[in-house]
Amino acid sequence: MSVGTAPANHSRWRGTRLRERIPAQHRKPSRFAQIAGMLLLSASAVFPVYFMLSGALRSQAAWSHSQIGLPTTTSLSAFKAAWSSAQIGLYVRNSAIVTLGTVVLTLVVASTAGYAFAQLRWRGRGFAYLFVIAWLAVPPVALMVPVYEEMNSLGLINTYWSVILFYTAINTPFNVYLMSSYLRGLPDELMEAARMDGARVHSTFLRVIMPMARPAIATLAVFNFLFAWNEFVFALLLLQSDNVKTATVGVLQLQGRFSVNYPVLVAGLLITSLPVIGVYLFFQRYLVRAIVAGAVR
């Protein structure tokens, strides 16, 4: 059977009944090695948080002696220094605006286009679809200078819109692909039924398609949230003044060219990472479920 065309069954993946019945000997080979390996990977995944936390709680002298180990101070001075000298509160706010703006615009663009490609019938649809997703092949770094010039002539340098528009555009091919292929997997009967009930193009979109597309929407939200929060090169180029700088760019100001106070730098990095880690832990259950239900439709 093909995964791509299987109808959605949101309850199926949640079931654990089958796996619980797996006899113990089928859980081989060498359960111990498996768990140990996975624990090692998990530990490495958590390590950066430990590293930043313990680093921020070490004095600079202790740091130059060894970069990991137990904290040597309970003083929060590194955090205070990072907070005041990198204005991290301001930068985190800017990142939040850019990220959420990108996510919302992305969802609008991808879901409207996905709907048109997957559910509406019109001339030139196949060509238009290829036209939109073919831009996947363009490496963003090649576009730096022309994009800067373009944003400058639009008067958007140092405005959130510059990066929001660019981030949305550069990921549009992938987002549209993901959304269309998800919507294409929805059963035709739904559309027809909506038609029967007299729903028009718009109300089908808003009342029938969008609620059904929630898993795909969540997937896109996560992908684009992480992309926009972590993007560095274009944020550096397009958002130069202090009141609009994003966190990834702003926090690196703590890394001097010829001297760097590492405890303060890692404290700054930890502060800028906390919002994303927090969002992930808080929404994790929902996000993981949504991705699991929707990523490959």
E-assigned strand segments in 18-122? none
Residues 100 to 159: which contact other proteins by CB under 8 A?
Answer: 100-101, 103-104, 108-110, 112-113, 115-117, 120-123, 125-126, 128-150, 152-153, 155-159
Among 190, 210, 212, 296, which residue sits at the site for other proteins (rule: CB under 8 A)?
296
53 binds other proteins (CB under 8 A): no
How far apart (Å, rounded) are the C-alpha atoms in residues 128 and 130? Answer: 5
Closer of 148 and 212 to other proteins (Cβ): 148
Contact 115, 205 (CB under 8 A): yes
Closer of 74 and 198 to other proteins (Cβ): 198
How far apart (Å, rounded) are the C-alpha atoms in residues 186 and 84? Answer: 51
Q: Is the dihedral of CA 116, 122, 126, 132 positive or negative?
A: negative
206 binds other proteins (CB under 8 A): no
How far apart (Å, rounded) are the C-alpha atoms in residues 94 and 88? Answer: 10
* Phi, psi (deg, nearest 5) at residue 260: -145, 135
Residues 6+ apart with CB under 8 A from 147: 166, 234, 237, 238
- What six digits make up the tokens of 142? 């090649």
Look-up: residue for tokens 């797996």?
A: 22
41 binds other proteins (CB under 8 A): yes
Residues 265 to 284: which contact other proteins by CB under 8 A?
Answer: 265-266, 269, 272-273, 276-277, 280-281, 284
251 binds other proteins (CB under 8 A): yes
Burial of 287 (0-12, 13-18, 19+ CB in 10 A): middle
Among 57, 244, 263, 267, which residue sits at the site for other proteins (rule: CB under 8 A)?
244
Least distance from other proteins to the Cβ atom of residue 242, Å: 7
Least distance from other proteins to the Cβ atom of residue 292, Å: 5
Least distance from other proteins to the Cβ atom of residue 279, Å: 9
How far apart (Å, rounded) are the C-alpha atoms in residues 55 and 49? Answer: 10
28 binds other proteins (CB under 8 A): yes
Closer of 74 and 90 to other proteins (Cβ): 90
Least distance from other proteins to the Cβ atom of residue 204, Å: 10
Site string for other proteins, 63-102 (x = CB under 8 A): -xxxxx------------x--xxxx--------xxx-xx-
